Structure 1
Amino acid sequence: MSAPLRAGNGRLPAVLVVDDELRSREALQRTLEEDFAVFTADGAETAQAVLEREAPLGGVQIVLCDQRMPGTTGVEFLKGVRERWPDSVRIILSGYTEAEDIIAGINEAGIYQYLLKPWQPEQLLLTLKNAWNISRLQQENQRLSLELRAAEPVLKRRVEMKYERVKREFGVDGLVRAPHSPLNAVVALIGKVAPFDLSVLISGESGTGKEMVARAIHYGSRRAGRAFVVENCGALPDQLLEAELFGYKRGAFTGAYEDRIGLFQQADGGTIFLDEIGETSPAFQVKLLRVLQEGEFRPLGGARPVSVDVRVIAATNRDLEAEVREGRFREDLYYRLATVPLHVPPLRERTMDIPLLAERLLEASKRALGKDCDGFTGEAAACIAAYRWPGNVRELQNEILRMLALTDGPRLGAELLSPRVLRTPVGETQAADLSLLAGLDGGLKERMEQLEAQVVKEALIRHRWNKSKAAAELGLSRVGLRNKLERYGLERK
């Protein structure tokens, strides 16, 4: 007969039929040859030779063997096949008389199935097709297992590297600050309280980066490898907020078509950050207090409470102590949340951080917009540093995104800034700079001149070096302004 097609790559799987009776071999071959590449052998010795010959060419996937053969039994032969070619699927054919002998040797020979004579063609084909599918699945599983074992060190290292990057970005190293920034005191406190499962209440104006501080606490704790979940409590009414945090059962309310796991359950083992906690109602505060006290809650429509292990970090832009005195916030909940109170200073109180923060936000903006630039011009940087940023970090971030979107040049110039940033009132700038007057060099006259030079320069930058407008703002004539520019060396280069 011609050489059968090899198994694999869409070709037929190979079957070896071992039977000492010629008519039986021919009948089996006719039944199988449409769906399989069939090899035949009249005994154990011939079958052994076929297996040896075919092994380098892809091997034989299925061995179909008669039990009664000269010199050995089918079970004994298949035991040897299992030792040398363990990936093959072994099937035994026999009459009724040897059933007990075969059953006794099935486990030892690793026989997939035992078929009785006389066999039916449909049953035989179905058995061999199932055997081939199982063989392919086993081989695929073995291949994947080997690949996973080989890739495990690489994958583990990649996960570790990604985790380290996340910790650098969202840990305390991600809180941008200058060497003498007031934020350093916050970072020091984070380092002390993060490792312990204490509730933290973060206060500060909107946009100061309270969520970043909460993430730094999470990534400095033993929960760093688990979930960090965020919910803005001021954005939802009570019922929706309760459904978001505690989850619900199907049918709990109109539109609840399926069960939903709440954020507290999603954060189990990790941290949940509740922003704008001061916006919640007294009724909801009672339910939140139970979670903090008992470590359990009941989903909407649920019959049984759910226990969770969650660290709670809350934030507010309100004075919660005043809210407690006015009766708008529960005193017992306040003390549960404020085990460690932490205040984030506004950007106007840490002006030394603004240049560093602007550079970091610019890098993030370039990634977000997919647009590159070489940084800020000196004028733009001076305007950014002079502005008080009442919207804090969020306002600064939006301003930089706007500048990057509008620019056509290699650097972000002052002309791209919003009018409110360019037109910072001089009195406001002077009020902040007067606090620095004592730290300037020289006597009183020299210090006043340094401050005057700074005020003149900022006025020019705000008016894009339009000397007429700068002179009008400063109450000087153009000649007077020109004299000061020459005196202080402030001519634009």
Structure 2
Amino acid sequence: MERREEKPTVLIVEDDRALRSGLRWTLADHFHILEAETRQEALSSLQSERVDVIICDLHLPPATDSITEGLQIVEAAKQHRPSIPTVVITGSSDKRTALEAVRYGAYGFFEKPFDEDEVLHIVRQAARVRQLEAENLKLRSTLSGRRGFGRLIGSSPALEGVIRQARAVATTDATVLICGESGTGKELLACAIHEESARAGGPFVAVNCAALPETLIESELFGHERGAFTGATHAKKGRFELADGGTLFLDEVGELTPAVQVKLLRVLQERSFERLGGTRTINVDIRLIAASNRDLEQEVEKGNFRQDLFYRLNVVPLTLPPLRERREDIPVLASFFANKAAHKHGLQPPELSPELMAALQAYDWPGNVREMENLMERLVVLTRGARLGVEFLPEKMRSGDHKPAPPEEESESTLEQAVQALKRRMILKALEIEKGNRGAAAKRLGISRSYLHRLINELNIAESN
């Protein structure tokens, strides 16, 4: 079969043959066209073909006196992933039903008799929305499947420097000591080093030393034999044995007791140990990565941590920067965690308002990336609508003045921001010239009235403007 040109596909659902033919001629140079006369034919095409945009008359047989058939097509289009934009056709005296369809989920509408330029414009815009949503889904899928150093999100110089060092050490078996405040992503970095190493096919075993009771930590790390202590009714492997052939990550290693520090030092020197209550020496092949939110050198000076163990752990030190020292990564992190939370709870990816972004970037993040992830999930769960604002932020984050810059001073540091700012200025100017008449403003801008309505909502242009 000959492969057709890669154009977006438009499905025209219209029982009026002449109108359907006119639409086909208007769009055929730019789109691949499919046609249907009824809801059943349309749904069949949606199942068998890839459709990017639907143009649909609301009054379809057999129920031409109502809009039920048309609304069912709008509903079916919404169920696709990503949803298919539906542009509805309406008569000049039937705008109320078209607006109802838009509220029901339709992308927009145009009137009969149609203007060719208006139809071409709105369909192009709808196809572009579909393309962007498909790209967003692909990106989210890619992000959710991140491995190795792709797990660490951001491009700030502070983070990139750490990743460069980590890449260099990942291909070796050298012991790594990761330092950084709580919530900076120390376990994530340790896992990335493991996944980029020759041990990636082996286990990655993580232990939070601070979370284990002092009486159990030796048993958890090195295992125990049956009868080693009250309640030890059977032998148990420790984390060192479980990590054999892979990587053992000891988080908060500064919390280890002196007795466990001595045993850990021996394992690092000889790669062997005995289970608690046992006499048989067990040999292991592991790569050790340790982490601490304390300054272990200071702990050594205070006598709280063995100096010889510190030197054994500190072969390759890596220090993760706190979030307040990599503020340029905050927007991409916030968007990533918002999308992740939305996916987790079965919601659409949200938009972050300028007020929210300003508040996020002004905050010092004592809990670092972990605090941000938890906050973004809270905002996604509590917010009703597709735009996250500041209303559910903690009071400590709302106390500052985080109002966005006025439109004429909006950031235009990226192409997308510049385009958004230009659209806003043009719309405001057209509305000013036409004294607020949206129909006249849409005509002056060369766009449909429904598209102007959509832009006003998307760009958050207030009525007072």
- The equivalent position to 2:219 in structure 1, one of 236, 243, 248, is 243
- Picking from 276, 281, 294, the partner of 1:318 is 294
Contact 1:210-1:344 at 8 Å conserved across structures: yes
**Residue 332 (structure 2) pairs with residue 356 (structure 1):** yes
- Residue 437 (structure 2) aligns with: none
**How far off is 1:248 after superposition?**
1.1
8 Å CA contact 2:179, 2:318 repeated in 1 = yes
Q: Which residue of 1 aligns with 2:368?
A: 392
Return the offset for 1:239.
Answer: 3.0
Report Cα offsets for 1:117-161 as digits up to 9, x if no partner: xxxxxxxxxxxxxxxxxxxxxxxxxxxxxxxxxxxxxxxxxxxxx
Letter in 2 for 1:245: L
Secondary structure, counterpart of 1:372 in structure 2: coil
Q: Give CA-to-partner distance per residue, 1:160-207, whole Å, 9 cap, x none.
A: xxxx979962311111112x4310000100111110000000000111
Q: 2:164 aligns with which of 173, 176, 188?
A: 188
Give the aligned partner of residue 239 of structure 2: 263
1:177 corresponds, among 145, 154, 179, to 154
Alignment of 1:7-46 (within 5 A): none
Say whether the 8 Å CA contact 1:194–1:217 is kept in structure 2. Answer: yes
- 1:111-130 to structure 2, matched below 5 A, reads none
Counterpart residue number, 1:205:
181
2-side partners of 1:286 and 1:323: how far apart?
A: 16
Match of 1:277 among 253, 267, 270: 253
Name the SS of the counterpart of 2:365 in structure 1: coil
Deviation at 1:211, TM superposition (A): 0.7
1:376 corresponds in structure 2 to: 352
CA distance in 1, matches of 2:143, 2:268: 28
TM-fit CA distance, 1:301: 1.6
CA distance in 2 between partners of 1:250 and 1:368 (Å):
42
Quote the offset at 1:305 in angstroms. Answer: 1.2
1:351-404: CA deviations, max 9, x gaps?
A: 001111111112222233333342312221221122111110111111111111
- Give the unaligned 5+ runs of structure 2: 1-140, 404-412, 414-460
Asked if 1:219 corresponds to 2:195, the answer is yes
Deviation at 1:295?
Answer: 0.3
Alpha-carbon offset, residue 277 of structure 1:
0.5
Per-residue CA deviation, residues 59-110 of structure 1 (Å, 9 max, x unaligned), is xxxxxxxxxxxxxxxxxxxxxxxxxxxxxxxxxxxxxxxxxxxxxxxxxxxx
Change (3 A) 1:309 1:167: farther
Distance 1:306 1:166, change over 3 A: farther
Question: Is the 2:184–2:322 Cα contact (8 Å) retained in structure 1?
Answer: yes
Structure 2 equivalent of residue 307 of structure 1: 283
Amino acid at match of 1:269: G
Q: Is the 8 A contact 1:247 1:260 kept in 2?
A: yes
SS in 2 for 1:314: strand
Q: Distance in 2 between matches of 1:313 and 1:167?
A: 24
In structure 1, how many angstroms separate the alpha carbons of the residues matched to 2:348 and 2:228?
Answer: 50
Correspondent of 1:409 among 357, 380, 385: 385
What corresponds to 1:451 in structure 2? none
Structure 1 residue 218: deviation in Å?
0.7
Would you say the 8 A contact 2:338–2:350 is kept in 1?
no
What is aligned with 1:45?
Answer: none
Q: Do the aligned partners of 2:152 and 2:189 also contact (CA within 8 Å) in 1?
A: yes
Contact 2:342 2:350 in 1 (8 A): no
- Aligned pairs, number: 269
Aligned residues of 1:181 and 1:353 also touching (Cα < 8 A): no
Out of 321, 341, 356, the position equivalent to 1:345 is 321
- Note the C-alpha offset of 1:259: 1.5
SS of the residue 1:355 aligns to: helix
Q: Give the percent of matched residue pairs that are identical in Structure 1 and Structure 2.
A: 50
Whether the 8 Å CA contact 1:387–1:424 is kept in 2: the answer is no
Structure richer in helix, relative to its length: 1
User: Could you say which structure has the greater relative contact order, defined with CA pairs below 8 angstroms and 6 or more residues apart?
Assistant: 2
* Cα distance in 2 between the residues matched to 1:221 and 1:376: 37
Task: Name the CA distance, whole Å, in 2 between partners of 1:215 and 1:362.
Answer: 23
CA distance in 2, matches of 1:359, 1:181: 20
Larger radius of gyration: 1
Q: Do the aligned residues in 2 keep the contact of 1:170 with 1:212 (CA within 8 Å)?
A: no
Equivalent in the alignment of 1:332: 308
| Secondary structure of 1:290 counterpart | helix
What are the Cα deviations for residues 12-38 of structure 1, in whole angstroms up to 9, with x where unaligned? xxxxxxxxxxxxxxxxxxxxxxxxxxx
| Residues 424 and 284 of structure 1, relative CA distance in 2, 3 Å threshold | farther
Using a 3 Å threshold, how does the CA distance of structure 1 residues 380 and 165 change in structure 2: closer, same or farther?
closer
Bigger shift: 415-424 or 196-205? 415-424
Unaligned runs of 5+ in 1: 1-163, 430-440, 442-489
Runs of 4+ with deviation above 4 angstroms: 164-168, 490-493
Q: Secondary structure at the match of 2:343?
A: helix
1:297 aligns with 2:273: yes
Given that 2:222 and 2:237 are in contact with CA atoms closer than 8 Å, whether structure 1 keeps it comes out as yes
